[in-house]
Amino acid sequence: MSDLEEHRTPVSLNGLSEDDLRLQPLAKNPQTVERVIAVTFLVGTLFVAAFGASYWVNAKPWILGATMGAGLFLLGVGLVAWGKYLMPRGPFVEERHTLANSDADREALAAAIVERGGSVVKRRKMLAGILGGGMGIFGIVALFPLLRSLGPLPKGTLFHTDWKKGSYVVDQTGRRVNVGDLAIGSIVTVFPEGTENSDRGQAVDQTVLIRISNQNFTTQKGRETWGPMGYVAYSKLCTHLGCPVGLYEQQLQLLVCPCHQSMFNVTNGAIPQFGPAPRPLPQLPLYIDANGNIRAQADYDQPVGPGFWERHRVTGSKV
Amino acid sequence: MAAAGFLSVAPLLLFAGSANANSLNPPPTTRKNAGTPNSTIVVKNKSGVVVKYGNKYITYKAPSSKLDALGQALFMENCASCHGSEADGVPANGTSGAYPDLVGLGPATITFWIDSGRMPAKNLAAVQARRGQPALTPFQATAIAAWVNSLLPSYPDIPTPHLKNANVADGAALFALNCAACHTIEGDGDALAASTFSPSLRNIPAFQVVEAIRTGPANMPRFTGNLSDQQVADITKYVTTEIQHPNNPGGFGLGGLGPVAEGFVGLLLGLGLLMLVCYWIGDRS
């Protein structure tokens, strides 16, 4: 304590005696702690130097990380220990004066603003008008990129897929699906031939082909010819938000959407049994040609995927 | 490539399975006997029954008929109380349809359920049987499969995958397309509809992966004509290597649950530790 005072300007301790506990370090034996901290700093410095050296020689990344990490960690530990064990332990409280001005000062300022404001600051209607016009036009211009970034208009593409009368049903490799291919309880994702590698094919045309029987299967009244030899096909786009409905539970005969757990009854026209989906998955009418290939009778009879404003124009449905 | 692989094994199609299925005239959702072996290797016994088939990716072997008697005894002891003494799902004094009918499901179905410890059922009230310690040895399972198969010979037989011929990268793509929807991309399994779930794939021997793909146990769809043996071997190799022995940077996969789990651990451990350190730094008395 005494040798420190030699180098420093004496400060008022506000009536604290030098023996006050708050001025003493926390460590019982400051000399030892100082030595430990010195060693910590030294080793940390060595690590930092080693980091520089290993950077210089292009060492492996983990060596760079380890040396830098260890160096900074040890310097930090030393610093914290210095503050914690060697500095006066405190706490010290400094009282402060009131911050507010006197009442007279505040009244004078208010009077000055009122007096000068009326004569110096004038309204500039022309400038305000031009500025307002500019800001208004900017507001309108700011809408342009918003509208442009919506992309090209979908036109008819929302209403039709690439499935056509006679489209061959192919899997993701382009192989035509034959009536002998699927066992009962099997599922495969299929596309109209030629679209299996296109963005549009994978986004819009994707369809799940499920074999639920080995006899013609009717999922709903009016669809008597749509499921030849137990093959039924539904659009793979969830009618809620368009996620791929790929989870087929073949005992429960449910198609489950992985996004929001909508469940569609496979044996009953894929009507939604649970979840937020508002409509059944559209069913693709199929037939089997003379070679045993599975083909589409026609496009879907309604737009696939989630709803949109103009949807009711083709379906007459509100949802 | 995959299509070419399929076409090369296609010429030897045996439709024994589907012929049987037609004569059964089953209800609409039955899964019986839908498998047909399409193979480059076909071995028949003296009476002309196919006992082994397959190719360089997977070979399927029928259980020996010498095991029939043992299998029947084991079946009566372990299975018949539910599945009935005829393995048709009708227990004594029971009603038809109360329990699964096992006739014509193929030996691989029987061995899969027994070898994975799901059967004999430990909890009859459970919605879905869980994988566990098998109660019967693989030999006993094969014997039971032999007897059930003797009632109505059917496919698929018990598979042996030859994974040195398989391509793990193709398997990853096929897994993402066909399996990940339910089992998740990390293979951990997930919840499904009506209290069912897709099980984890982390600890499953290769032949059972093939059995599950080919037979479609419980709610899993079966993959037959839409996946060639080469493709099934690719998937199996991917599952038994990358899925079961993932390379986790940092050493701990956290169940493969992604940023949610990682963020949670980061908050709980990382932030917690930092708070303790801050407390230690600030604490002076």
Interface residues on B facing A, Cβ-Cβ cutoff 8 A: 1-3, 6, 13, 15, 18, 21-22, 26, 28-32, 34-36, 177, 181-182, 192-194, 196, 216, 218-226, 281, 284-285
CB B243 within 8 A of CB B201: yes
What is the rounded distance in angstroms from the CA atom of residue A77 to the CA atom of residue A40?
A: 8
Section B237-259 average pLDDT: 82
User: CA-nearest residue of chain A to B213?
Assistant: A186
Give yes or no for residue B253 having a pLDDT over 70.
yes
Could you report the per-residue pLDDT of A160-177, keeping only the tens digit for each? 899 999 999 998 888 899
Please report the residues numbered 48 through 67 in chain A whose beta carbons come closer than 8 angstroms to any beta carbon of chain B.
Answer: none
User: CA-nearest residue of chain B to A79?
Assistant: B281
Section B246-263 average pLDDT: 77
Could you report the per-residue pLDDT of A193-251, keeping only the tens digit for each? 999 888 888 888 999 999 988 889 999 889 999 999 999 999 999 999 999 998 999 88
Q: Do the chains contact at A89 and B224, CB–CB below 8 Å?
A: no
| B chain contacts of residue A253, beta-carbon cutoff 8 Å | 29
Q: B142 or B222: which carries more pLDDT confidence?
A: B142
In this prediction, residue A73 has a pLDDT band, given cuts at 50, 70 and 90, of very high
Report the pLDDT value the prediction gives residue A199, as an integer from 0 to 100: 85
For A155, B28, B29, B147, B212, the CA distances from B17, given in Å and listed in that order, are 49, 17, 16, 18, 18
Q: B85 or A121: which carries more pLDDT confidence?
A: B85
The rounded mean pLDDT for chain B is 80
Q: Do the chains contact at A187 and B221, CB–CB below 8 Å?
A: yes
In this prediction, residue B23 has a pLDDT band, given cuts at 50, 70 and 90, of very low
Query: Given B218, B222, B225, which is nearest A180 (Cβ)?
Result: B225
What is the rounded distance in angstroms from the CA atom of residue B99 to the CA atom of residue B83?
A: 6
Report the pLDDT value the prediction gives residue B40, as an integer from 0 to 100: 75
Report the pLDDT value the prediction gives residue A316, as an integer from 0 to 100: 60
Could you report the per-residue pLDDT of A2-48, keeping only the tens digit for each? 555 555 555 566 677 777 888 888 888 989 999 999 999 999 999 99
ipTM of this predicted structure: 0.73
Percent of chain A residues past pLDDT 70, beyond the cut: 92
A–B interface: beta-carbon pairs under 8 A: 111
DSSP SS3 for B53: strand
- Report the gap between the CA of A57 and the closest CA in chain B (Å): 26
The rounded mean pLDDT for chain A is 87
Report the pLDDT value the prediction gives residue B34, as an integer from 0 to 100: 44
- Report the gap between the CA of B19 and the closest CA in chain A (Å): 11
DSSP SS3 for B153: coil
From the candidate CATH numbers 3.30.2090.10, 2.102.10.10, 3.40.30.10, 3.40.50.300, the one assigned to the domain spanning A161-308: 2.102.10.10
| B chain contacts of residue A182, beta-carbon cutoff 8 Å | 224-226
Section A65-77 average pLDDT: 96
| A chain contacts of residue B185, beta-carbon cutoff 8 Å | none
Give yes or no for residue A112 having a pLDDT over 60.
yes
| B chain contacts of residue A185, beta-carbon cutoff 8 Å | 29, 31, 34, 216, 221-222
Cis-peptide into B28, omega within 30 deg: no
Give yes or no for residue A180 having a pLDDT over 80.
yes
Report the pLDDT value the prediction gives residue B84, as an integer from 0 to 100: 87
Could you report the per-residue pLDDT of B136-150, keeping only the tens digit for each? 999 999 999 999 988
Tokens of B258: 């992604």
Rounding to the nearest 10 degrees, give the CA dihedral for residues A134, A135, A136, A139.
120
Going from N- to C-terminal start, the domains of chain A cover 12-86, 161-308
B238 contact partners, CB below 8 Å, separation of at least 6: B168, B171, B172, B174, B175
pTM of the model: 0.68
CB B201 within 8 A of CB B189: yes
Q: Do the chains contact at A173 and B2, CB–CB below 8 Å?
A: yes
Could you report the per-residue pLDDT of A241-254, keeping only the tens digit for each? 999 998 999 888 99
Placement of tokens 């089992």 in the chain? B183
Give yes or no for residue B104 having a pLDDT over 90.
no
- Report the gap between the CA of B137 and the closest CA in chain A (Å): 28
Please report the residues numbered 127 through 186 in chain A whose beta carbons come closer than 8 angstroms to any beta carbon of chain B.
Answer: 171-175, 177-178, 180-186
Report the pLDDT value the prediction gives residue B74, as an integer from 0 to 100: 93
| B chain contacts of residue A230, beta-carbon cutoff 8 Å | 28
Give yes or no for residue A181 having a pLDDT over 90.
no
Report the pLDDT value the prediction gives residue A308, as an integer from 0 to 100: 86
